[in-house]
Amino acid sequence: MKESSSKEVKMTKMVKAKENALDAEIQITSSDNAQIHQEARTKGRLLEEHGAIAAKMRKKRLKTKLVL
């Protein structure tokens, strides 16, 4: 009886350890995604300030008009 309960305790500890590792991995991935998103937004704002986005949008609109 004691042997089976110690096995259950070990299994429970292993499952919890795996869950904790998975939670940590999810947090790291979420943090990375948030950082990439923030960098992209910052880069977009900088390009917009220099008029690069406006020129790019004008080109897209011209292509759209020609297709329609």
Say which DSSP state 51 is in: T
Using CA atoms, how far apart are residues 46 and 43, in angstroms rounded to an integer?
5
Report pLDDT digits (tens) over 30-46. Answer: 888 888 888 888 877 77
Considering only residues 50 and 41, tell me which one the structure prediction assigns the higher pLDDT.
41
Helices (H), 1-68: 2-49, 52-67
Indicate if the pLDDT at residue 8 is higher than 70: yes
| Mean pLDDT, residues 54-58 | 63
Indicate if the pLDDT at residue 51 is higher than 70: no
- Could you give the number of structural domains in the chain? 1
State the residue range of the domain holding 22.
Answer: 2-67
